Amino acid sequence: MKWTNDITRLLGIDFPIVQAPMFGVTTPAMVAAAGTAGCLGSLALADLDAEQCRDAIHKTRMLTQRPFAVNLFVHHIPGIDDRLRADYAEAKVWMEQLAQRYNLAVELPAIDDLAMHNYAEQIEAIMDENCKIVSFTFGNLDPQSIARLKSRGTVLIGTCTSVKEAELLAQADIDIICVQGIEAGGHRGTFATEDIPAIGGLSLLAQVSEAVKVPLLYAGGIYNAKTLLAARALGANGFQIGSLLLGSAESALHDFEKDRLRRAKESDIVLTKSFSGRFARGIKNIFVDESEASGLILPYPYQNKLTAELRKVARLNKLSEFVNIWMGQSISEFSSDSTTTIFKRLIEQTEILAD
Ligand SMILES: Cc1cc2nc3c(=O)[nH]c(=O)nc-3n(C[C@H](O)[C@H](O)[C@H](O)COP(=O)(O)O)c2cc1C
């Protein structure tokens, strides 16, 4: 196995390991620790405003001189119409009653008080900060942003969950495609929010590698040397790994969340829209059951904003039944070692197995 570097020649490719961006879990320390292992760290920016993006980038640069990727959500934000306003009001009352039933004191925001951040303002921030690797999910960047970023030599990494999405990214001249199998933890990177494809990684990676000429990262279920080498055999040029790092020293998860992860059984892991309005893979709990039964799930990002306060209060009270604990289908021991150690161990084991 050939692991050249520096990551690896700034994603010319040769099998880089990429720390998956994981909003809410990834910290500047995790990004830096991935870099120390010779891997690519990814800083998740989700829906942070421009100032918060700059701050996160600065904090990361204080910890590492190594290159890292920044990661954006590039979805469309639905406007507020009468229907959404009414649905939001109904969902808010329902959620307040749910919180009361479980003795959680929450004050949920009115729809007009929500702050939404379009990725356009993030693009300005990351260009000002001269970020050289940009990954994104939930769709494709607009053509103007692609042209602007590429004219500055930025490497663009888009996410696909179907062959069709891979083809769209390839046609748009995206440099690298991250193929996300259905096994993956966290949100599905699918362009659409409804009727999402549910293709397993084995089928998807093999087919995408035949359909497009673009280099591929594979994401979904990699947790040891065998799974990594399987992805390689199916056409991956690099590997994006998330869930394996959830218990790591640099993970932002609280101890009670890490404890819950370590107790997870395969039947606990589901795809659900209940926390955010977009399908994401994580641990089923009381909130998931209640929310799905209510039939009152708002479109993303409104559901995400509505549940934020409930999740915050539940976190303060260490209540794993009301927080989103994302994880993929590959259950590991969720080592508490540093991200550097976890990645170095994976590289060592892969080298042994590949020989
Ligand atoms: C907790 C968590 C949060 C995630 N957040 C993001 C994110 O902010 N942006 C993104 O592109 N992918 C995100 N993902 C998906 C990862 O990029 C990746 O597809 C996934 O972790 C790979 O599967 P694995 O978890 O089995 O390794 C997240 C995954 C997890 C587990």
pLDDT of residue 19: 98
Do residues 245 and 262 share a domain?
A: no
CB proximity list for 233: less than 8 A, separation 6 or greater:
none
Q: How many domains does the chain have?
A: 2
The yes-or-no verdict on residue 170 having pLDDT over 80 is yes
Same domain, 285 and 351: no
- Pair 243, 351 in one domain: yes
Q: Is the pLDDT of residue 312 over 80?
A: yes
Looking at every residue in the chain, the average pLDDT score rounds to: 95
Question: Where does the chain have alpha helices with state H?
Answer: 7-11, 28-36, 50-63, 82-101, 119-128, 143-151, 163-171, 201-211, 225-233, 255-262, 286-294, 302-316, 339-354
238-273 per-position pLDDT tens digit: 999 999 999 999 999 999 999 999 999 999 999 999
Q: Is the CB of 16 under 6 A from ligand 1?
A: no
**Confidence at residue 244, expressed as pLDDT on a 0 to 100 scale:** 98
CA 24 to ligand 1 centroid distance, Å: 10
Pocket of ligand 1 contains residue 242 by CB under 6 Å: yes
pLDDT of residue 125: 96
For 181-240, how does the pLDDT look when each residue is reduced to its tens digit (9 = 90+)? 999 999 999 998 888 999 999 999 999 999 999 999 999 999 999 999 999 999 999 999
SS3 category, 17 = strand
Domain co-membership, 182 together with 289? no
- By percentage, how much of the chain surpasses pLDDT 90? 91
Exposed/middle/buried for residue 352 (C-beta within 10 Å: 0-12, 13-18, 19+): exposed
Same domain, 110 and 258: yes
Same domain, yes or no: 191 and 50: yes
Residues 307 and 342 in one domain: no
**Which atom of ligand 1 has the smallest separation from the CA of 20?**
17
C-alpha 71 – ligand 1 centre gap (Å): 11
Residues 71 and 159 in one domain: yes
CA–CA distance, 169 with 165 (Å, rounded to integer): 6
For the cut 90, the answer to whether the pLDDT of residue 13 exceeds it is no
In the chain, % of residues over pLDDT 70: 99
Residues 154 and 236 in one domain: yes
Domain that includes residue 233, residue range: 1-77+116-251+333-355
Taking only the tens place, the pLDDT of each residue in 17-61 is 999 999 999 999 999 999 999 999 999 999 899 999 999 999 999
For ligand 1, whether the C-beta of 46 sits within 6 Å is yes
> Which ligand 1 atom is at minimum distance from the Cα of 220?
23
20 lines ligand 1 (CB under 6 A): yes
pLDDT for 129: 97
Same domain, 71 and 86: no
Residues 283 and 302 in one domain: yes
Residue 27 belongs to domain with CATH number = 3.20.20.70
User: Do 154 and 213 have their domain in common?
Assistant: yes
CA of 187 relative to ligand 1 center, distance in Å: 7
